[in-house]
Amino acid sequence: MNPTLTRLLAELEHDMSTEAAHGFARLVAAYFADTRVGDGRVSTALAPTELATRFDEPLPRAGQPMADVLARLERDVVAESNRLMHPRSMGHQVSAPLGAAVWAEALTGALNQSGAVWEMSPVGTIVETQVVRWMCALAGFGPGAGGTFTSGGTEANFAGLLAARQAAMPDAWTQGVGATPPVVVCGEHAHYGVARAVGELGLGTDHIVTVPSREFRMDVAALEQTLDRLRADARAVMAVVATAGTTATGSFDDLEAIGQLCDARGLWLHVDGAHGASALFSPLHRTRLAGLHRARSMAWDPHKMMLIPLTASVVLVRDEADLEAAFSQRAPYLFHAGDGERNWDQGVRSFSCSRRIDAFKVWVALQRHGAEGFGILYDHLCATARTLFDLLGTRPDFVAPHEPQSNILCFRYVGGRAVNEAALDALNLELRTSYNRGGDGWITTTVLGGRRVLRVTLMNPRTTAADLARVVDGLARLGAELAAR
Ligand SMILES: *Cc1c(COP(=O)(O)O)cnc(C)c1O
């Protein structure tokens, strides 16, 4: 045999050993240990070009020992990545992932089951179906409900709206949407992915009607007026999109009131619960989702408030047939009829063909912590945001434009308030950049009501009141320095 092939085959065997696994496990566990205590920087100090230089090298011609690859991973990847396990990492809606789900990733990769068809994933499709059923039940959907895992909330929103399009325009799949498609109504704080989906669906983003907010939630009276006006103008509505946990402020639309309006008019309600649907686990917070059972479709990202590593997301529909109708293509070589009562092939209700079974890590995490555990974690993260809000309330140099409804909070550095609002906009933007560059904490920023604000999302259960105080003190010190220049 070719000696290179002989060596390569030996490497393949070595890499499946417990010894090889330990190399990776040690690297991951060391990262956890170094990071979770809050020593060291939250994010890299290097600029993109400096990082690019580290990786700018010829395509490796020959392989190298695993130990060398691990050393390189430790030095160039782990050391310079965003440390979401760090207790002062408070940036975007990406979690400090649960250990159990992290380790389950290796098993998912090892098994490499493909989710589209039952014959390629005899247990995976079943586990996915079961996790989807649990989530449908939490949402208050009945026995005919179903869904599928997706690549993220973006795809889940797209799939929900595709199902709505199929119901509103059954011929659109074959004939297109024509010149006068129906409109999609959504709140002004809807995720940008909703508008993107409307574009992708061929409806044209000019056919989006936005409803203003009141206290960062969809103004239900304005929604009613909008629907009345559309009816008077004889413009059909394909769907109303409400948000449970908006990206900017983590606010929840009033699903009960919106759902009643939609029911009375026979309109499809899609709920974007990518961020906030995990509140369903919390006895304290699930009332924020009252009325969710009125939705025809919804998006929910376990990779957000369930702290599952990226990616894990689902689209759920109250009637599973709606999702199957949405993807009405035929592929006889792949999809066979089910075993009588049900087609277990997830591909018939999914945008994707080949895809991993993200449901495994969600299932593992649910086995490990139980629904109760997820409710407690959700409450804890929301309580941390509340602690920050209370802390800011004691300080003259910050204002918070909203109370936290979940684990997201926006606030603004105002210093001594001598500066005008436009100057504060610029100052807050610069403050965020400079603060993050310092490395002691990591936050984000957005624009709210036309004003630049700082924003944090608490996605790490290790963040303490002391960490919050340290971040606020750090921002205040730097803000005063920047204002004094
Ligand atoms: C995060 C988020 C999305 C997008 O989901 P991805 O998983 O990032 O694709 C959509 N809507 C809301 C409200 C979100 O918070």
Q: State how far the alpha carbon of 346 is from the alpha carbons of 141, 154, 342, 355, in Å.
A: 19, 18, 11, 10
Residue 114, sorted as left (phi over 0), alpha (psi -120 to 50) or beta, turns out to be: beta
Q: Higher pLDDT residue, 209 or 341?
A: 209
pLDDT at residue 328, rounded to an integer: 79
State the first-to-last Cα distance of the chain, in angstroms, to the nearest integer: 72
Of the candidates 403, 391, 382, 387, the residue with the CA atom closest to the CA atom of residue 459: 382
The residue-averaged pLDDT of 13-38 equals: 96
Please give the structure tokens belonging to residue 364.
Answer: 């593992």
Q: Tell me which of 155, 200, 301 to substitute to probe ligand 1's pocket, judged by most ligand atoms within 8 Å of the beta carbon.
A: 301
What pLDDT is attached to residue 332? 60
pLDDT single digits (tens) 228-253 = 999 999 999 999 999 999 999 999 99
Report the pLDDT averaged over residues 270-291. 98
Q: How far is the CA of 435 from the centre of ligand 1 (A)?
A: 26
pLDDT band at 337 (very low <50, low <70, confident <90, very high): low
Q: Would you say residue 418 has pLDDT above 80?
A: no
125-143 mean pLDDT: 98
Residue bearing tokens 């599973």: 320
Pocket test of ligand 1: the residue of 94, 161, 191, 255 to mutate, having most ligand atoms within 8 Å of its CB, is 191
Mutate to test the pocket of ligand 1, among 247, 297, 298 (most ligand atoms within 8 A of CB): 247
- Which residue minimizes the CA distance to atom 4 of ligand 1? 153
Residue 336, pLDDT > 80, answer no
Ligand 1, atom 12: closest residue by C-alpha: 274
Q: Is the pLDDT of residue 95 over 80?
A: yes
Which of 78-82, 171-175, 335-339, 406-410 has the weakest average pLDDT? 335-339
Q: Residue 306 Cα, ligand 1 centroid: separation in angstroms?
A: 14
Q: Say what percent of the chain tops pLDDT 90.
A: 94
Instruction: Say how many Å lie between the CA of residue 153 and the centre of ligand 1.
Output: 5
- 138/131 Cα distance (integer angstroms): 11
Question: What is d(CA 162, CA 173) in angstroms, rounded to the nearest whole number?
Answer: 10
Closest CA relative to residue 255, chosen from 287, 231, 299:
287
The average confidence (pLDDT) of the chain is 95
Q: What are phi and psi of 342, to 5 degrees?
A: -155, 145
Structure confidence at residue 335 as a pLDDT band (50, 70, 90): low
Interval 435-446 mean pLDDT: 98
The atom number, within ligand 1, closest to the CA of 273 reads 13
Residue 237: closest CA among 224, 218, 255, 251: 224
Rounded CA gap, 420 and 173, in Å?
54
The per-residue DSSP string of 19-46 comes to: HHHHHHHHHHHHHHHHHHTT-S-SS--S
Q: How far is it, in rounded angstroms, from Cα 329 to Cα 336?
A: 13
Q: Is the pLDDT of residue 331 over 80?
A: no
Per-residue pLDDT reduced to its tens digit, 250-266 = 999 999 999 999 999 99
Is a pLDDT exceeding 60 seen at residue 198? yes
Topology classification of domain 113-355? Aspartate Aminotransferase; domain 2 (3.40.640)
Amino acid identity, residue 42? V
Is the pLDDT at 429 greater than 80, yes or no? yes
Q: Report the separation in Å between the CA atom of 196 and the middle of ligand 1, taken as the mean of its atom positions.
A: 12
* Interval 408-437 mean pLDDT: 93
Q: Which residues line ligand 1 (CB under 6 A)?
A: 93, 152-154, 191, 193, 243, 245-247, 272, 274-275, 301, 313
Quick one: 484 exposed, middle or buried, by C-beta within 10 A (0-12, 13-18, 19+)?
Answer: exposed
Q: Which of 15-24, 135-144, 171-180, 328-337 has the lowest mean pLDDT?
A: 328-337
Number of neighbours of residue 51 by Cβ within 10 angstroms: 13
User: How many angstroms does the Cα of residue 83 sit away from the middle of ligand 1?
Assistant: 21
Structure token digits, residue 274: 């990518």
Spell out the SS3 assignment of 240-307: EEEEECCCCCCCECCHHHHHHHHHHHCCCEEEEECCCHHHHHCCCCHHHHCCHHHCCEEEECCCCCCC
Mutate to test the pocket of ligand 1, among 158, 161, 253, 272 (most ligand atoms within 8 A of CB): 272
Residue 163: enclosing H or E segment and its boundaries? Answer: helix 153-168
pLDDT at 191 over 60: yes
> If you measure from the C-alpha of residue 457 to the centroid of ligand 1, how many angstroms do you get, rounded to a whole number?
13
Q: How far is CA 89 from the centre of its chain?
A: 17
pLDDT of 37 above 80? yes
